[in-house]
Amino acid sequence: EAGVAQSPRYKIIEKRQSVAFWCNPISGHATLYWYQQILGQGPKLLIQFQNNGVVDDSQLPKDRFSAERLKGVDSTLKIQPAKLEDSAVYLCASSFRSGVGELFFGEGSRLTVL
Amino acid sequence: EDQVTQSPEALRLQEGESSSLNCSYTVSGLRGLFWYRQDPGKGPEFLFTLYSAGEEKEKERLKATLTKKESFLHITAPKPEDSATYLCAVWDNYGQNFVFGPGTRLSVLP
C-alpha cells in the first residue's frame, strides 16, 4: 500500500515570496491533516479536512496561509507572503476518518525562509 | 484546552540501559493515546495506540502503558538504532483534535 506522498521535500525562499506544498494521502482515507513542525517541537495542527470540507482551521494563519483539498483527494498548502518564522517542516497526514485510528504521515516538506 | 506534555526533553542512555519516557495529558475525555517514533528528516512513524487505563502494548524492546493521567514508554535493553524522537499524541473524546506533545529525544550510545 502506497503511503502519504508529499512534494517538494525541500524548499528555500526569500521572505515575502510564496510557496506551495502538495500532498497525496493514502487511498481511501477521508481525513487529511496539515501540521507544522518547528525544529525541536512537536507537530502543530494547521488544518484538517474531512473529504473536501474543512473540519478545523483554527490555528491556520489565514492572512498568509491557505489550503484546499479538491475532489476530496490531493491537497495543497500555500504560504504567501512567507515570513522568517514560517521556517519549519510541513507534514501531511491522513486517516481513514476523523477520530478513528492512527494518523499516517508523509516524509514532510522542509521550508527555509531567508 | 487539550494539553500533552512529555518528559524528559532529552535522554541519553548507554546500550542496554533500560529507562522510561513519560507522557502526561489533559483532555476532555480520552478517546485514544498514540506513540510515534520520528527519525531525523522523516515523518512520524506509528508505534502504539492505547485506549483505556491499564492497557499495555509491546513491540520488540518497547512497551507502552496507560493510566488515567499519563502514559509511559518503557525501553528495555535499548540499542543504538532505537535513537529517535518519541512523540505521544491524544484524540480527545470529541474525536476532533489530534494533539501532539513536544517529544523526547532519545540517544542510545554504543
Distance from C-alpha of A46 to C-alpha of A36, rounded to nearest angstrom: 7
Residue A28, judged by CB atoms within 10 A of its CB (0-12, 13-18, 19+), counts as exposed
Cell, residue B43: 515523518
- In chain A, what residues touch B97 (CB-CB under 8 Å)? 45, 56
The per-residue pLDDT for range A32-77, each reduced to its tens digit, is 999 999 999 999 999 999 988 999 999 999 999 999 998 889 999 9
A104: nearest CB among B46, B95, B100: B46
pLDDT over threshold 80, residue A1: no
If you average pLDDT over every residue of chain A, what do you get? Answer: 94
Residue B28, judged by CB atoms within 10 A of its CB (0-12, 13-18, 19+), counts as exposed
Contact A99 B4 (CB under 8 A): no
Residue with cell 488515567: B68
The per-residue pLDDT for range B52-110, each reduced to its tens digit, is 999 999 999 999 999 999 999 999 999 999 999 999 999 877 767 789 999 999 999 99
Distance from C-alpha of A93 to C-alpha of A5, rounded to nearest angstrom: 9
> Which residues, at least 6 apart from B92, have a Cβ–Cβ distance to it below 8 Å?
B2, B27, B28, B29, B30, B31, B99
Residue A2, judged by CB atoms within 10 A of its CB (0-12, 13-18, 19+), counts as exposed
Distance from C-alpha of A77 to C-alpha of B95, rounded to nearest angstrom: 23
Distance from C-alpha of B49 to C-alpha of B67, rounded to nearest angstrom: 13
If contacts are CB pairs under 8 Å, which of residues 1-20 in chain B contact chain A? 4, 6
